[in-house]
Amino acid sequence: MFMWLECRTAQANSAASPTSLQSCSSENSVQTAAHVCQTETQSMIGNLACTLGRQTASVAPRIIQMRRFLHGTHFRVSSSVAEALADGRPIVALESTIITHGMPYPQNLSMAREVEEIVRTNGSVPATVGILNGRIHIGLNDEELQFLAKSKNLVKVSRRDLPYVLSQGLSGGTTVSGTMIVAHKAGIPVFVTGGIGGVHREGEKTMDVSADLTELGRTAVAVVSAGVKSILDIGRTLEYLETQGVCVAAFGESREFPAFFSRQSGFQAPCQVQNEEEAAKLIASTLALGMGSGVLIAVPCPEEEAASGQVIENAIQEALSNARSKGIIGKELTPFMLQRVNELTSEKSLDSNIALIQNNARVGSRIAVALCKIQTATGKGNLPQCEKVTALRPVVIGGINVDFIAKARNTTIQAGGQTNAGQVSQSFGGVGRNLADCLSRLGKIPLFISALGKDEYSESILRYCHHMDMAGVLQLAGHSTATYCAVITGSGELSLGLGDMDIHQQITEQHVCKFKESLCLAPLVCIDGNVPVATIQYVCEIAREHQVAVCYEPTDENKASKPFLSDSWRALTYISPNLRELRAINRTLGHPVPAELPSRLEDVVRTAMTLTRPLLTQLHCVVVTLGMHGVLLCGRRVEGRVSLCPGTHKQNAAGELCATHYPAIPISREEIVNVSGAGDSLMAGIIAGLLAGHDTDTCVRMGLLSACLSLRSYEPVSQEISTVSVNLEQVKARSWPEVKVWKMN
């Protein structure tokens, strides 16, 4: 017997279902011992007022700046980075031009993955910065990394390019200067790269000087690199950095300034730090002074991987000659030089390149950890804590109700008024509540927006949901909290459902608009079919305007079509219907639908593909729950699977459509206790994986694990669901049935 995932039938009717504060010393002259006590007291008060006034004046612009940044439409912060910012954990920013322009595929993709893993292993959270569809992403999931690694003709985005790329909705990789700007605005003080740009050879004639150098002079971010690229004029680069007031320190036992591929450049660094702790102290001092300039920590390439300096120099000279003959200048020169040097050195330079970037990531992550300890000890973060965490969480809008579940002992229920033997239990459900509950247990605590009456049930619900953010739940006197009664057969099938759901009509546009700020900044908004049509339309308008991903849970066959009564559905990113709900949606849109729905898996898949195809002209992905058959994902194909990542939607709009089927986890009929929340747990697990940046297979399997736990629970959402029981390690530890893929085109 396979796990029965089509539990929304039971729930359906239910658910409604761095600059530190700069102290200023008093400008008054120091009081002498001869001054009377009153004068000293007055002076102290005056000094204190001066200090507080200047602190307020210093912090206020930064608070306003950060608020504008967080409220803007041009960025998206990944869930893992947002959580690290909220918790004050160390974060390392990573650039993306090394992916888009620095290395060939597939080395660029494997390098990016390995570097992120090295950062994690050494105690920090990686925040790779890239631009997709005119939006700055701080933290990329694997599908977004793949897109940047594989795509051609992406823009190389420096400071000067940012406004144009964002205004045109383009995609690209951020350079050192571009990444520094983003990291600084996000409050990330440590940034790791391979090597920075500099003064080009013959720069005194061409005036070709990298924007990286001027950015280091005006942006307070520490850059950990292997010095500057050896294809540049290193001496003039160091002179230019001195002019810009940038503190440059060699890392390790030698003061020799490294030359990217080589450990020796023939030039000495102005400063030296022996280890990560010394580097962190240097960075902390720079931030505390509020000088507005950055720090360059120059880390030599590992000795065993360093290429011979003379071999590299010979290759550089030949590559320069090639560039001159081809007329290659400007920002196209560096990628050409790196590729040509790699060819001339039989890929020795590429091996050194990868090794030094990995080493930089290791050192940079440890520096970030040490810096975080210093800032925690002194109580001085580089941004006000309250400004780091504004609304970087998902939002769930939907029903909350009290469930009465009556499960018969037998597989069939006798009608006609007689009593059937069974078990009756009370729990708290609602599709929206279940989603928010499960997401909270999986560490992605969303803002939950709903409505309750003020009655005997409401306080019990609030106590039960103590682990959730219920700040958006409205309590109304004179209204009844929603209640739902489900009668279920011994085999877990819904026989009858009755509900009093009128309170859900109070989840109005007027109530939801109070949380507009959270909606605009959310990485994902989930909304269920219990919400009034006008409210759904309002949320879709917000999503369209601010490019927010929206997942719609149809709830039941009668409510499934609410967004499809107008053009609102075109703003949706995901929907998660069962086959009956999918048929109802198509009927509303005027598409042909089958009179009878099949039960055999092959026919079910064929019907589901037929019904989802017209929806995929606008939607990114349709997640079709198939009951005991598992789940079917329909969308655009990336790496052999349906893509869950909305960031690559536009670029893949013309891509091949496919359907990917994931069989259910086997579970016996006797083990099934409650089906009312398993479907919602499935979707919450998928969303949690998506927010964590996992690939499609991992996301779906996290959903299947969550659903399996809830099926065995008397509660709609199992209390055993947690970040320990449902995570990447648990997915990897289990043997999974074969996944099948069908083409839809």
Q: How far apart are CA 228 and CA 209, in angstroms?
A: 12
Question: 272: which strand partners?
Answer: 250
Catalytic residue among 150, 156, 185, 229: 229
Amino acid type, 716: P
* In contact, 655 and 636? CB cutoff 8 Å: yes
Residue 341 CA from chain centroid, whole number: 36
Query: Which structure tokens are listed for 94?
Result: 């990573």
* In contact, 483 and 503? CB cutoff 8 Å: no
Q: How far apart are CA 120 and CA 116, in angstroms?
A: 6
Q: How far apart are CA 443 and CA 552, in angstroms?
A: 21
Given its phi and psi angles, is residue 478 left (phi above 0), alpha (psi -120 to 50 degrees) or beta? Answer: left
Q: At what angle do helices 176-186 and 37-71 cross, to 10 degrees?
A: 120
Cα distances (angstroms) measured from residue 568 to each of 157, 536, 632: 34, 8, 24
Cα distances (angstroms) measured from residue 338 to each of 195, 276, 360, 504, 549: 12, 29, 18, 61, 38
3-state secondary structure of 369: helix
Cα distances (angstroms) measured from residue 140 to each of 104, 135, 367, 537: 19, 12, 22, 30
Nearest CA among 8, 104, 2, 53 for reference residue 398: 8
3-state secondary structure of 739: coil
Asked about 493 being catalytic, the answer comes back as no
Asked about 229 being catalytic, the answer comes back as yes
CB count in 10 Å sphere of residue 728? 14
* In contact, 395 and 446? CB cutoff 8 Å: yes
Query: Which structure tokens are listed for 402?
Result: 């009290």
* In contact, 102 and 356? CB cutoff 8 Å: no
* In contact, 545 and 576? CB cutoff 8 Å: no
Only one residue has tokens 């739940």, namely: 473
Q: How far apart are CA 554 and CA 559, in angstroms?
A: 6
Pairing of β 91-94 and β 447-453: unpaired
The catalytic residue positions are 95, 229
